[in-house]
Structure 1
């Protein structure tokens, strides 16, 4: 039995689900939405509602600087696990992860720089296979 390559969309969904689970398990906070997009050797990640309740409380009570420090430290602490998750899912080394969060909007954006472009099946091949099957 041969294993066919997943589509780009399937890979992006798998990564998004696994990243959301990682945040839930490690930070005790589940983001409302995680979006991933592969673009050549880059993986772009957008995390909605990524700010934890303690960070929100700090920001709301005038401790903005401390909230930003906590967010930065959490991003740094979770990056090795995030890197491992991406490498395991794509079977490609991650060269670097660039990250930033905005407390006001609750969004975190990341770009994972990959060592090479991931292999995936094109959506056109999926459409063609579906047509043949019908």
Structure 2
């Protein structure tokens, strides 16, 4: 067994911490909870508690909800190169593509990073 390979759980935790730090520095506020899962060539990050109290108020109307979704999507999109760099620094794998969506109802965001290689195969359980 190659002990130089990181353990899957450790790497998932490291990515969660790095994404939380990015959220705090770039968006000005971090999520309440972050969970990262590495599945084949995907890194799936689930962030909970991402909306500010003012944003939660705005989501009570459809117009406000759509506005928050658009603004938050635009903000993450402008920082996507930084996010891809976080993944590369953590895993050594380049990000091929990046997807994100937000649920204003549940104050959650999902980010999916698609890698070229199957990262899960390379990791120790």
Q: What TM-score does the superposition give when structure 2 sets the normalisation length?
A: 0.86
SS of structure 2 residue aligned to 1:63: helix
Structure 2: give runs of 5+ residues left out of the alignment.
Answer: none
Tell me the residue number matched to 2:59.
Answer: 59
RMSD: 2.0
Checking the alignment, whether the CA contact within 8 Å between 1:34 and 1:46 is kept in structure 2 is yes
Q: What TM-score does the superposition give when structure 1 sets the normalisation length?
A: 0.81
Distance across 2 between alignment mates of 1:80 and 1:55: 25
Distance across 1 between alignment mates of 2:5 and 2:45: 22
> Which structure has the larger Rg over C-alpha atoms?
1
SS of structure 1 residue aligned to 2:76: helix
Structure 1: give runs of 5+ residues left out of the alignment.
Answer: 124-134
SS of structure 1 residue aligned to 2:59: helix
Matched, 1:116 2:117: yes
Distance across 2 between alignment mates of 1:111 and 1:19: 12
Tell me how many residue pairs correspond in the alignment. Answer: 121
Distance across 1 between alignment mates of 2:41 and 2:52: 30
In the TM superposition, what is the alpha-carbon distance from 1:24 to its structure 2 partner? 0.6
In the TM superposition, what is the alpha-carbon distance from 1:59 to its structure 2 partner? 2.3
